[in-house]
A and B are shown apart, each in its own frame.
Chain A
Amino acid sequence: MPTFEWKSKNQKRKICKALKFEVSHHPLKTNHVLFKKISNKGFIDDLSKWSAGFEEIDPLLKFEQMALDEDLVHADDEGIGVNYAKEWNTRRTIVLNRYTTGEKLTIVSSFLPGGEKISTFSALIRQVSNLNEKVKNRLEQLDDFDDDSVRKTMGLSQQEFVTKINMLNDEIKKAWESEQRVKAFKIGIQCSKLLSDVNVMHFYPSKFILITDILDTFGNLVFDRLCEKSFGQKLVKPVQDINPKEVPETARETCQNWLYKMASIRELLPRLYMEMALLKCYSFTSKEEIKPTIVRLTAMIRGIGNPLVAIYLRAYLCKVASKLLGNECSDYFYENLKQFIEEYQQVYHVAMKKKYEGQLLTLDKYLNIYMPAVDWLFFGTLHSTNCKETLLDQMLQQCQKMQNNELLLCGILSAFDSKIIIKRSTKILDMIVESADKMVLVHDVLTSLGEHLCASENCRQVNSETLIQTWWKIASNIRSTVHFLQVLGPWLQFACTNLSTQHVNIILRGTIRYLIKCGKSADEFSGNLQIVIKRMLGSVPDIEECFLMDAFMPLIELVQTTNARTLMAKTVLSTFFTRYNSLHIDDHIVITSLMCLCCTLHDSINAITVDDETKVCSELINKFVHAGTFHEDFEQQLNFYVECRSSFIKLDAVLVALVQKVNGLAIRAGDARNKWLQRACAAYCYITVPSLHCTITKAQLYLLSGQVALLNNCIGQAEANFKALIGLIPGIPEYILEDGQKKSTNVKVEGILRDFLSTLLVLPDNVDSNCKAYILSGLIKTMERVHWRKTDPRYYNTLLNILDLLSEMAQEDYAHHIDSVLSNDKLYGCDEEFVSVLDGYATDICQELLVVLKALGDNKETKKQYNLTLELFWRVIRRADLEQHSMLTLAANLWMLSKKIQDPNNKLAKSILSALRTSEDLASRQLLEKLEQGVQT
């Protein structure tokens, strides 16, 4: 039974003598959590220490890395200039990754287990010689091996092949270490022999890389041993430091022997490869011989009839030369390139055609096999030429003269700098036009030309229009759609940067025509098309213009499947928003187009879409929702939001944004003339919020919408929102899932409720209802029903806040108002009935709080109990009319309780006491006296 009646103290706002005490924190200030950097870093360090174990590189890669580093160190020693080793290594990796095969491979070797015996077919011209069978020639033994031991292993997969090759590599090392040098030599020869086999052509570049690695190993073994012989144990000098005069006779003799041995290898290809591998050994006999030897080898490669084998042989020669001579080697690159051009027509030889067609390769794939080697030769040639322009002119002239110039053209385009290529772009394009129908690499050539043109955004092309026209003539005749789109990418970018929108539009129209005409569904090429579109969007000067082209949207909508459409929409939207830097989109066409894309994106979301995906989509759509604006046309703006709501109903995040935007709109349309709009907005929000899933968000939005409605003096709508909010309170879960983590809702709920309560102060009461303080009483009733634990801070804090509100509502003049809204102070003017209702509620709440105090005490939660006691005490002395004896007693009792629980020297208690002391109020003084008495006793 209540032994007291709450009576709110009626304070004169104007005088404002209310009790106050200093607080340590600004109530509105957000809490900044400052992490100490040091500890933070330590944590990260710890983390990385633990995770280091997982990031360790693949042990196999590690060795590779080590070998690579070694090479690079050598290259670095050479100081300035090109790092050929590094370049080679990047190419090496690319080749190994690109040129793979699913075909079966064959390996012939006498040093590997398994496989079937074959009798080595030797083309020796025995007819001429009547060789005595008894006398076996030692030299022949060297390269014919023991005939019976040569085995052929067929049907190897690529992986098996690589394993075998690696086995051979190990075998060489093993043989070398066990002093079986001739065996190592033989393995080297056999390996290089494998390179004459072009049976699985597409794997050839990779095979070349693998085998030249072995040859390098062998070359290094020989070199290192000669070094050791010359300069003692474990002293490996780089080639540059070796002076043949310092080399002792024995080492020189050994070296000479190796050279003789190589020279007597019967077959041409292994002989050339082995000579190259051992080229650096010349530094032990006479260094002057290195360069002439390179020249000689360059000439001898002419003897290789197969152009593929020959050009890779040249590539290896150049690689060896570059390693030996550093920057001096560019002549040899050029020389080899020239030789290649001389034998260029061999590439197109009928015999080759038979071979690649036999392997089911198309001409373009076949030509692609040459690219790494051609590219390498060009790279070396160009690297130290000063007169690149003259060289380019020369090359182009040669191209013009020859038939089937596409491979060469491809090489030229990928090797030379954009700057000088662009100057001759018209010429090159004309050349392409001439033979476009015969070319199979036309797409590659055009693509790289296009890339060159794109690379020079700055220099405006005078003739870009003609260029584009000529290009289109060729491009529109490309047969393969994939190739067409590949070519389209750079050229469209070029057109975007250099030509007007109309031109781009024409190209887009052409593209649509092409895609329709090609007879296949555009979905097959959606990936390629996306790349093109992305490039275009990335390079268009003004991204909005894209949507103004009449061909843009149709092009995008060419793809039909949902999946492709979604991806396309996502690409377009994300590129658009990354590039679009103004805040608003006000062009109707753009808005409609974007709307369309957003719809596609939205429609793709279904029950099985992953959360992240949904999030990305929502973010994109939100950007659109935020950006779309119709300026002063509020009606249309609202219509836009209505349309958005109906289109993006599946995405909560978008709905939230919409509600916020609509609320913003309602505020913007603050004018009285727009009353209907404000109502419409309020209605919009009221209708939209329930469809959300998250209760907290709903509560927040109800509150916000109610506040906005209130601000616009739409009392009915505000009330409706608040009612809905109150209805939500019992249903708010204690924890919600946020980014997959459980998070307590306490703080949020308290914040919302506090905000709500302070709004309630200005909300005019519903006069039609027979209950005073209609909404508040509803809240109080809900609080009675709510299933929160009584000891939950959320519960009693809310009660405390309600208490605050109740006493504040009993005032004559409220602390804050909204201009156009008639609050209760004006409405009731401290009507007694109204006040007594409020006081009745206050008494109940006070009573409830005492119950909570007891519960806290029972639960031994002293700290909470203590805080609550002080809070309540403060409210009593601050808000209640202390002249009432019962209130005074209550205050005194509370104080005693707080003292009993904890030390009164607590900061809060102290400041409350000092505030009480400074108070001039009579009742306060009485209380103070009483308290002090109590303290003394």
Chain B
Amino acid sequence: MSINLSICLKRASKIYHEGEIIAGVVVVESSSDVRHEGLSLTMEGCVNLQLSTKNVGIFEAFSNSIKPINLINVTVELALPGKIPVGITEIPFEMPLRARQAVSPGYPGLLETYHGVFVNIMYTLKCNMKRSFLNKPLFTTCQFFVQYRHQERPVQKGVRCEMSGASVRAAGTVPHFSVFADLTSTVCALDAPVTGKIRVDECSVPIKSIELQLVRVETCGCADGYSRDATEIQNIQIGEGDVVRGRDIPLYMVLPRLFTCPTTTTLNFKIEFELNIAVIFEDDYLVTENFPILLLRCK
């Protein structure tokens, strides 16, 4: 006798906005009749915070205080104790996605799904089938994603910078170079690519690679003590080899889903993003320029 429990969402993308109804079916597949003590479905959303290892020493004292922050927790009863007939049984459900009404201090509301290193925001549906004394209860989960509604596209804030030998504070011999980078906007829409251009005007040594790096900066903790870590999300090469001088090369990066979310600041943590433009010379000498960016949910 085998029973298979699965959750199937109506929406293929599994992306929901606040206020929408999450609809789907719980599918019970079994080779014989199933007797159960009730079938329930729980919608759960929480923020998991983790401290980076290098900071653990300092924070050990209050490391316990970093508990998951609960964002939503709703349970519905799908079926009363009874029997599910042999074969495939689909039990439809609908649950509204709404933030908790009774607001406790520091409750950030429904945040966007985000998979990071030290901060994870996850939403799951959990289906639980309680069964009689001798049988193990059956359990299945299904992740779904929460996104903010698209907002108006903000005014673009372009940023330009010049990288040159003179602007680099470094010891030893710095090759003579001058590179202009131009980011279309530091306020970026999550659903549109990051664009811009870069131009190498002069460079006395051959260039090996020009790369665009997306970095997340996650801050955990509170005002008293916190850890701040910058990690790479993705690194996109935009120039390979010794590119033509004095010619614009487009910067173009599609922001990855799940690993990015709108720039978020709450009481306990912060998620921020930065872009690095790096020019790597043939001898692996590296010049970077950092641009903090603001991510917004818009097209």
Contact = CB atoms under 8 A, between A and B. Distances in A.
Interface of A: 123-132, 134-135, 137, 139, 196, 249-250, 252-253, 256, 259-260, 263-264, 266-269, 271, 296, 299-300, 302-306, 309, 342-343, 345-346, 349, 351
A304 B52 contact: no
A400 to B, nearest CB: 21
A331 B247 CA distance: 21
9 contacts: A123-B237, A125-B211, A125-B280, A128-B278, A130-B230, A249-B12, A264-B236, A303-B237, A303-B238
Contacts of B232: 124-126, 128-129, 131, 137
B277 to A, nearest CB: 10
A545 B57 CA distance: 102
A177 to B, nearest CB: 24
Closest 10 CB pairs of A and B: A305-B241, A263-B254, A129-B232, A303-B239, A268-B237, A305-B242, A250-B12, A249-B12, A253-B12, A305-B243
A11 to B, nearest CB: 110
Given A123-B208, A124-B232, A305 B288 contact: no
Given A128-B276, A135-B117, A303-B210, A346 B235 contact: no
Nearest to A198: B241
A244 to B, nearest CB: 15
A305 B207 CA distance: 9
A261 B122 CA distance: 21
B181 to A, nearest CB: 13
A349 to B, nearest CB: 7
B53 interface: yes
B258 to A, nearest CB: 9
Contact of A253 (B13, B208, B240): B13
B248 A302 contact: yes
Given A130-B231, A131-B231, A303-B237, 7 more contacts: A125-B276, A139-B234, A249-B13, A259-B254, A260-B256, A264-B254, A269-B240
A305 B254 contact: no
B108 interface: no
A125 B288 contact: yes
B169 interface: no
Contacts of B239: 268, 303-305
Contacts of A349: 242
B109 interface: no
B136 interface: no
DSSP class of B's interface residues: helix, strand, loop or mixed?
strand
A139 B234 CA distance: 7
B11 A249 contact: yes
Contacts, number: 130
A299 B243 CA distance: 13
A267 B193 CA distance: 17
B63 to A, nearest CB: 16
Contact of A300 (B13, B238, B276, B278): B238
Q: Which of B208, B210, B231, B241 has the most CB of A within 10 A?
A: B241
Contact of A306 (B241, B250, B259, B288): B241
Contact of B235 (A125, A134, A343, A345): A125
A124 B240 contact: no
B286 A127 contact: yes
A304 B240 contact: yes
Interface string B96-119: 000000000000000000000100
A759 to B, nearest CB: 92
Contacts of A130: 54, 229-231
Contacts of B209: 123
Nearest to B278: A125
A414 B280 CA distance: 40
A77 to B, nearest CB: 32
A916 B222 CA distance: 146
A260 B241 CA distance: 25
A129 B240 contact: no
Contact of A139 (B13, B210, B233): B233
Contacts of B234: 139, 264, 266
A259 B254 CA distance: 10
B186 interface: no
A250 B11 CA distance: 8
B219 interface: no
Nearest to A307: B244
A303 B213 contact: no
A351 B206 contact: yes
B215 interface: yes
B196 to A, nearest CB: 12
A536 to B, nearest CB: 46
A346 B276 CA distance: 27
Contacts of B237: 123, 266-268, 271, 303
Nearest to B193: A263
Contact of A304 (B206, B241, B278, B286): B241
Contacts of B117: 132, 135
A408 to B, nearest CB: 16
A268 B209 CA distance: 9
A919 to B, nearest CB: 112
Contacts of A263: 193, 253-254, 256
Contacts of A309: 240-241
B257 interface: yes
B249 interface: yes
B59 interface: no
B252 interface: yes
Given A125-B235, A125-B286, A267-B237, A342 B254 contact: no
Nearest to B242: A305
A372 to B, nearest CB: 21
Q: Which of B229, B242, B257 has the most CB of A within 10 A?
A: B242
Contacts of A306: 240-242
Contact of A343 (B11, B52, B247): B247
Nearest to B215: A129
Interface in B98-154: 117
Nearest to A269: B240
A230 B59 CA distance: 53
Contacts of A345: 244
A128 B54 CA distance: 16
Contacts of B278: 125, 128
A129 B231 contact: yes
A128 B244 contact: no
Q: Which of B52, B234, B236 has the most CB of A within 10 A?
A: B234
Contacts of A269: 240
A424 to B, nearest CB: 29
A266 B235 contact: yes
Contact of A128 (B52, B243, B247, B288): B288
Contacts of A126: 232
A335 to B, nearest CB: 14
Contact of A129 (B230, B236, B248, B253): B230
Contact of A266 (B12, B229, B236, B257): B236
A268 B238 contact: yes
Contacts of B52: 132
Contact of B249 (A131, A253, A256, A302): A302
A255 to B, nearest CB: 11
Contacts of B244: 302, 305, 342-343, 345-346
Contacts of B247: 302, 342-343
A135 to B, nearest CB: 5
A303 B210 CA distance: 8
B239 to A, nearest CB: 4
Given A128-B288, A130-B230, A264 B250 contact: no
Q: Which of A128, A134, A299, A342 has the most CB of B within 10 A?
A: A128
Contacts of A128: 213, 215, 230, 232, 276, 278, 288
Contact of A132 (B53, B240, B286): B53
Interface in B3-46: 11-13
B248 to A, nearest CB: 7
A755 to B, nearest CB: 88
Contact of B211 (A123, A139, A250, A343): A123
